[in-house]
Chain A
Amino acid sequence: MTILLAAALMGFLGLAFSIGLGIAGKKFRVEVDPKLEQIEKTLPGVNCGGCGFASCAMYAEAVAGRKAPVDLCVVGGSAIAREVAHVMGVEVSDEQKDKLIAVVFCQGDSEASAFPGEYRGIRDCAAAVYSQDVSKRCKFGCVGLGSCVDACPFDAIHLSPTGIPFVDAEKCTACGKCVAACPRNLIELHPLKHDAFVYCKSQDAGVIARKVCKKACIACNICIKAAAKDNNPDAVLLDGSLAVVNTRNYTAKAEYGEKCPTESYATYINVVNKDKVLGRVRKPEPEPAGTES
């Protein structure tokens, strides 16, 4: 009996308040752009901030007010962009942004770059970098405590058993949370279709770099020479003691790294499920060689 009474009471309260709210809702109704609601429904609603707005709702508002382009949503990619464009009644140009992915520029795992000591502080890369540099020998490399893993809202980045993060191409939306989380700035966003990078950020001179990590770039120039031989001198550049793939034109090819003595020039290190995704995205338009943005 008491239970029934309790249930009836709560039901009555709920009903009373919902009627009150219904009346208030009518009274305080604010006319909103119907496009806004449609766009909001189209967007993924995960509020990752990858578009540069604080939430999906704010981005939708900016689009509806024609203050932002329709193709900023990195999570939805071109499919969502097309739907949003449809709502807004604009044509989305076929030059869709190619799918981007987070690329981790380090191969210095526990095998390649040995640990001189044990880090026992809190499991946070920034804290480890700030407090003591004992996690890895290389002072440019991955700390391996997984702050990027914690930062990822999509469960797309994980630590390998040897302590280097790898990215799931299928889940990665290029929202950039991990980029900001890495205290050593080892993560960058690059087009998934491009497949050759120098997976190292060490500015140590070659001798030292080789000492602290087996897979460091030692600036031996082999890949640069290979690029020059291929009549593509712009593809790989030298930045201090580090060879860097030119990300203005992304023309570096995998074979430039064939003779890399440390295997730092490689293709798709730290990425899984790449082929699965590449099969799904549209074939990229053939780009005229050497276009600089």
Chain B
Amino acid sequence: MSLLLIAIAAVVVNNFVLTYFVGICPFIGVSKKIDAALSMGIAVTFVMTLTSIVTWVITDVILNKLNMPYLEYVAYIVVIASLVQLVEMFIKKTSPSLYKALGIYLPLITTNCAVLFVALLQAMRNYNLVQATVFGFSAGVGFTLAIVIMAGIREQLEMADVPRPFRGAAITLVTASILALAFMGFSGLIAA
């Protein structure tokens, strides 16, 4: 039950993008087309889940044993950077078309604060390994959900007659804020 709660909380109630406002860069950058957004979401989900697991191991096995929690940030960044490199190699080998679609945003997952946030939050909340895995995965699903919804809206926006000064990033940010307002409706669903 608590696993389900963690999942729901991470996907909708405390959606990373729309409640915590982390990971805005790819959220704005790759949300032009639904399929690219979906692949970005999947890549981020993959990285987040792996990060969550690996950082849990590092925190629990090394950092806590040595009583050095202050190394969290540095260690996590190293983990994330390496994992993203790994994912990039893997995607480049297995699916060149996906690699092309993600373009510059794939290496940018390295600096995606949402990924670091997952690692930090699961450490802060003292999750066990299973909880951390579920948390990382559902945070990624939440990110995917947000970015795909955004991409759907932006595809429609292409057709809309947007005033010139609002075109591009401006109307995107306005849309994002309205989406965030909508997601506030979930708050109070569970206290998490």
Q: Do A and B come from one complex?
A: yes
- Do A10 and B92 touch across chains, with their CB atoms under 8 A apart? no
- List 26 interface pairs A-B (beta carbons < 8 Å), by A numbering: A2-B68, A5-B66, A5-B68, A6-B68, A6-B71, A9-B75, A10-B71, A10-B74, A10-B75, A13-B75, A13-B78, A13-B79, A17-B79, A17-B82, A20-B82, A20-B86, A24-B86, A24-B89, A25-B89, A28-B90, A28-B92, A30-B93, A54-B103, A55-B103, A55-B104, A130-B165
- Do B62 and A9 touch across chains, with their CB atoms under 8 A apart? yes
CA of A127 to CA of B74, assembled, Å: 42
Residues in B55-104 with C-beta less than 8 Å from chain A: 58, 62, 66, 68, 71, 74-75, 78-79, 82, 85-86, 89-90, 92-93, 96, 103-104
Residues of B within 8 A of A25 (CB): 89
Q: How far is the CB of B66 from chain A (nearest CB, A)?
A: 7
Residues of A within 8 A of B71 (CB): 6, 9-10
Given contacts A9-B68, A124-B165, A126-B165, whether A17 and B89 have CB atoms under 8 Å apart is: no
Chain A residue, CB-CB nearest to B92? A30
Is A14's beta carbon under 8 Å from chain B?
A: yes
Is A21's beta carbon under 8 Å from chain B?
A: yes
Is A183's beta carbon under 8 Å from chain B?
A: yes
Among B103, B104, B163, B165, find the residue whose CB has the most chain A CB atoms closer than 10 A. B165
Given contacts A9-B68, A20-B82, A55-B104, 11 further A-B contacts (CB under 8 A): A2-B68, A5-B68, A10-B74, A24-B85, A28-B90, A28-B93, A30-B96, A54-B103, A55-B103, A124-B165, A127-B165
Number of residue pairs across A and B with beta carbons under 8 Å?
54
Is B125's beta carbon under 8 Å from chain A?
A: no
Interface positions of B (Cβ within 8 A of A): 58, 62, 66, 68, 71, 74-75, 78-79, 82, 85-86, 89-90, 92-93, 96, 103-104, 163-165
Chain A residue, CB-CB nearest to B85? A21
Contact of B66 among A9, A20, A29 (CB under 8 A): A9
Residues in A1-57 with C-beta less than 8 Å from chain B: 2, 5-6, 9-10, 13-14, 17-18, 20-21, 24-25, 28-30, 54-55
Residues of A within 8 A of B89 (CB): 21, 24-25, 28
Interface residues on A, range: 20 to 34
Chain A residue, CB-CB nearest to B96? A30
Residues of B within 8 A of A9 (CB): 62, 66, 68, 71, 75
- Do A183 and B82 touch across chains, with their CB atoms under 8 A apart? no
Chain B residue, CB-CB nearest to A61? B100
Residues of B within 8 A of A10 (CB): 71, 74-75, 78
Given contacts A21-B85, A30-B92, A30-B93, whether A13 and B58 have CB atoms under 8 Å apart is: yes
Chain B residue, CB-CB nearest to A131? B165
Q: How far is the CB of A186 from chain B (nearest CB, A)?
A: 16
Q: How far is the CB of A11 from chain B (nearest CB, A)?
A: 10
A-B interface, 3 closest residue pairs, ranked by CB to CB distance from nearest: A17-B82, A28-B89, A28-B93
